[in-house]
Chains A and B, each alone.
Chain A
Amino acid sequence: MPEPVDELPITTGDDVVRVRQAVRARAGAAQLSLVDQTKLITAASELARNTLVHGGSGVARVETVERQGRRGVKAVFTDHGPGIADVEKALTDGFTTGSGLGLGLGGSRRLVDEFVLETAVGKGTTVTVIKWTR
């Protein structure tokens, strides 16, 4: 492993691409299956875009984790944007405050094994996702 944690700023569209690439590198090294890699990278892409579009900007932290002999890749997305007032609603497919499809949060939750959303109105949002090897 090169670095214990990749820490990537998300302030432009190019940064979203870089997050995808960092997650792809970790997922490949952790030997996730091709389908699981694709799911995780797709979820990371949605969440990184959320960080940029809704949070204004933020940071992604990507790391390889291990639990009970299984390896996984964890990605944490943090912004200091407006936060989410109604979490249940935000996780519902089709709900959007922007111009998107409203699949970002709910959709990415379906693509990963663990999904934790912490948010406070006026303070920001942190989304943590993990995908484990099978």
Chain B
Amino acid sequence: MDRVPILSLGDVLLVSMQVDLQDESVVALQEDLAERIVDSGASGVVIDISAVEIVDSFIGRMFATIASLSKVLDAETVVVGMRPAVAITLVELGLSLQGVRTALDLERGLAALRQRRAERGIPLSDESDEADEAVEAPAAAGD
């Protein structure tokens, strides 16, 4: 089973979905993320799906689950990089991704998280120095 790597970027967790995932990997990602949010105290999660060719109802539900899960753990999730063909298909399939915040690309996703943090009055920690640095990269690179 492929395991999706989770990277730390300042106090944001970054998930870049690269391979065609089977359902078990998708479920494992949910659990891994919940653990990492608690361990790291991350305030945000960005899921980059720019390499993802299809989002079916199972993966779509995973996005919604991760979004509510992270909310309960005091973090915000943004899904970024959805391809136009994927968006068209999702809507026709009937998935509305309710409660899932989206942004067009990684940059905008991170900006949305920063803005949310500023609104909540949380000081911008050490992000300016470390933003470009992936602090931790798990062994399995997902491509």
Binding site for B on A (CB under 8 A): 12-14, 16-17, 20-21, 24, 34-35, 37-39, 41-42, 45-46, 49, 93, 100-101, 103-104, 106-108, 110-111
List 22 A–B pairs whose Cβ atoms lie within 8 Å, in order of A's numbering. Answer: A13-B23, A17-B21, A21-B20, A24-B53, A35-B85, A35-B89, A38-B86, A42-B54, A42-B56, A45-B58, A46-B93, A49-B58, A100-B57, A100-B58, A100-B61, A101-B60, A103-B93, A103-B94, A103-B95, A104-B57, A107-B57, A107-B93
Answer whether A39 and B92 are a contact pair too, CB < 8 Å, given A14-B22, A16-B23, A17-B21.
Answer: yes
Give the chain A neighbours of B85 by CB distance below 8 A: 34-35, 37-38
| Residues of B contacting A: mostly | helix
Q: When A and B form their complex, which 7 residue pairs have the shortest distance between CB atoms, in order from nearest?
A: A13-B22, A38-B85, A107-B93, A45-B56, A103-B57, A35-B85, A42-B54
Q: State in angstroms the CA–CA spacing of A34 and B84 once bound together.
A: 10
Residue of B whose beta carbon sits closest to that of A107: B93
Candidate in A12, A21, A107 with the most chain B CB atoms within 10 angstroms? A107
Give the chain A neighbours of B58 by CB distance below 8 A: 45, 49, 100
Q: Which chain B residues in 35-92 approach chain A with CB under 8 Å?
A: 53-58, 60-61, 83-86, 88-89, 92
Min Cβ gap B63→A in Å is 12
Contact call B94/A38, Cβ cutoff below 8 A: no
Contact call A110/B92, Cβ cutoff below 8 A: yes
Contact call A38/B89, Cβ cutoff below 8 A: yes
Min Cβ gap B66→A in Å is 15
Contact call A107/B22, Cβ cutoff below 8 A: no
Q: State in angstroms the CA–CA spacing of A130 and B57 once bound together.
A: 20
B24 interface contact, C-beta 8 A: yes
Among B24, B55, B61, B88, the residue within 8 A (CB) of A101 is B61
Q: State in angstroms the CA–CA spacing of A107 and B56 once bound together.
A: 10
Residue of A whose beta carbon sits closest to that of B86: A38
Q: State in angstroms the CA–CA spacing of A104 and B20 once bound together.
A: 19
Answer whether A110 and B94 are a contact pair too, CB < 8 Å, given A16-B23, A24-B53, A46-B57.
Answer: yes
Q: State in angstroms the CA–CA spacing of A38 and B54 once bound together.
A: 6
Contact call B54/A13, Cβ cutoff below 8 A: no
Q: State in angstroms the CA–CA spacing of A119 and B55 once bound together.
A: 27
Q: State in angstroms the CA–CA spacing of A45 and B24 once bound together.
A: 14
Min Cβ gap A32→B in Å is 11
Residue of B whose beta carbon sits closest to that of A39: B89
